[in-house]
Amino acid sequence: MHTIRNVWILLFAAALVASVANWVHPRKIPWVQDWSTHVEAKARKLGFEAIPLAVALEKHGASGTVFIDARPAAEFAAGHVAGAWSVPVQAFGEHFETVGGLIDSGAELVVYCSNRDCDDALELLVELRAIGAQKPLFFVDGFEAWKKYGGEVEP
């Protein structure tokens, strides 16, 4: 019983010291933070243009625009933006020729994943830029918003 009490005292003291250190440090770690724009902010910092749902809906019907789904193949099979190509970021190497053809065609590429918290699309954007894609777009709201707000979906 004495050991358990000492462990609790030690944990409390460590938490107190860490809290005070964070409070006085010039680069504090926030206690609460809104992560809903984290991936979008990171994309912008890397130089990618993030487009919202309204712009993605406009671009979907435009000729010369190709939507690329960065989600795993199973999620793509369960439903995706109509006409989208499946290029799971985890299997990028397997789709290299297909993606290369899309880049060479000069098509405008719009990359998406599940939602604003998903960073698969951002990882794919980095890969696409590395192999020569010029200004691929990041559909930041993702498939969940697309489906919810009436975008054309294929099973």
Give a yes or no: residue 103 inside a domain.
yes
Confidence of residue 35 (pLDDT cuts 50, 70, 90): low
- Residue 39 clears pLDDT 70, i.e. is over it: yes
Give a yes or no: residue 18 inside a domain.
no
3-state DSSP call for residue 129?
helix
Q: What is the mean pLDDT of residues 38-60?
A: 95
Going from the C-alpha of 57 to that of each of 2, 98, 107, 125, 128, the distances in angstroms are 65, 24, 16, 19, 22
Q: What is the mean pLDDT of residues 130-136?
A: 93
Q: What is the mean pLDDT of residues 109-134?
A: 95
Give a yes or no: residue 129 inside a domain.
yes
**What pTM was estimated for this model as a whole?**
0.79
Q: What is the pLDDT of residues 3-27, one digit of tens each?
A: 999 999 998 999 899 888 888 888 8
Number of domains in the chain: 1
The answer to whether 117 and 39 are in contact (CB under 8 A) is: yes
Tell me which residue range forms the domain holding 89: 38-154
Q: What is the spatial distance between Cα 8 and Cα 132, in angstroms, rounded to a whole number? A: 56
Q: What is the pLDDT of residues 76-118, one digit of tens each?
A: 999 999 999 999 999 999 998 889 998 999 999 999 999 999 9
Give a yes or no: residue 150 inside a domain.
yes
Give a yes or no: residue 142 inside a domain.
yes
Taking all residues of the chain, what is their mean pLDDT, rounded to a whole number?
92
Q: What is the CATH number of the domain that holds 124?
A: 3.40.250.10
- Residue 154 clears pLDDT 80, i.e. is over it: yes
| DSSP string for residues in 28-94 | PPPSS---TTHHHHHHHHTTPEEE-HHHHHHHHTSTTEEEEE-S-HHHHHH-EETTPEE--GGGGGG
Per-residue pLDDT at 29: 80
Give a yes or no: residue 27 inside a domain.
no
Give a yes or no: residue 7 inside a domain.
no
Give a yes or no: residue 141 inside a domain.
yes
